[in-house]
Amino acid sequence: MLKTSRIKPFLWFDDQAEDAAKLYTSIFPDSQIVQVAHYPPGAPVPAGKVMTVAFRLDGLDFVALNGGPQYPFTEAVSFVVECADQAEIDHYWDRLTADGGRPVQCGWLKDRYGLSWQVVPEDIGRYFTEAKSAERVMQALLKMVKLDLAALEAARR
C-alpha cells in the first residue's frame, strides 16, 4: 500500500462533503475519491448519511466531514494553486468559481462551498524579489481579481 502523508487537510462541511470532493477531483489531475464513510445508527444524524470522504487532489490527501452548519469556512485558511501559465490560471479560476463560486481579489476566490483558493503563478515570490519592480508589481496586482500574467510581467519589466 502506498504510504501517504500523516498530515492531511480536514475540511468541515455542512452536508456537501461528497459533492465538494466530486467537484475538486474533477478539476485537478491525479485526483480521486479514496473512501466514503457513512454515519452509523446512534449517531446524531440519520444513519447512512455520508459522514466523511477521503479524497486526493493532485497527489495531496484530504478528508471532508459532513458536520453541520456551525463552522463555515473563512479566508483564514485557503489553498494555493500554483499554475505554470495563464491557461492554467484560467482553467482553475473558471472551474472553481463556476456555479456559485465568486472572485475576490489578487488571485483569491471562494468556491461554491465557501472555501477560499488562491490561483497564482508558480513561484509568485519571484515578482517581488527586486526592489525596483516590486512596487510596480504590487500596484498592478492590487488592481486585479483573476491574475493576468502578461500584466504582471509588464509591471515587473
Q: Which of the residues in the chain have pLDDT under 50?
A: 1
The answer to whether 1-71 and 73-157 have equal CATH topology is: yes
Q: 73-157, which class in CATH? A: alpha beta
pLDDT given for residue 136 in this prediction? 94
Kindly list the domain boundaries of the chain, sorted by start residue: 1-71, 73-157
pLDDT given for residue 112 in this prediction? 98
pLDDT given for residue 131 in this prediction? 87
pLDDT given for residue 1 in this prediction? 45
Task: Look at residues 123, 119, 69 and name the one whose alpha carbon lies nearest to residue 96.
Answer: 119
Angle between helices 149-156 and 86-97 (to 10 degrees): 130
Q: Evaluate whether the domain defined by 1-71 bears CATH number 3.40.50.200.
A: no
3-state helix/strand/coil string of 46-108 = CCCCEEEEEEEECCEEEEEEECCCCCCCCCCCEEEEEECCHHHHHHHHHHHHHHHCEECCCCE
- Which helix (H) or strand (E) covers residue 17, if one does? helix 17-27
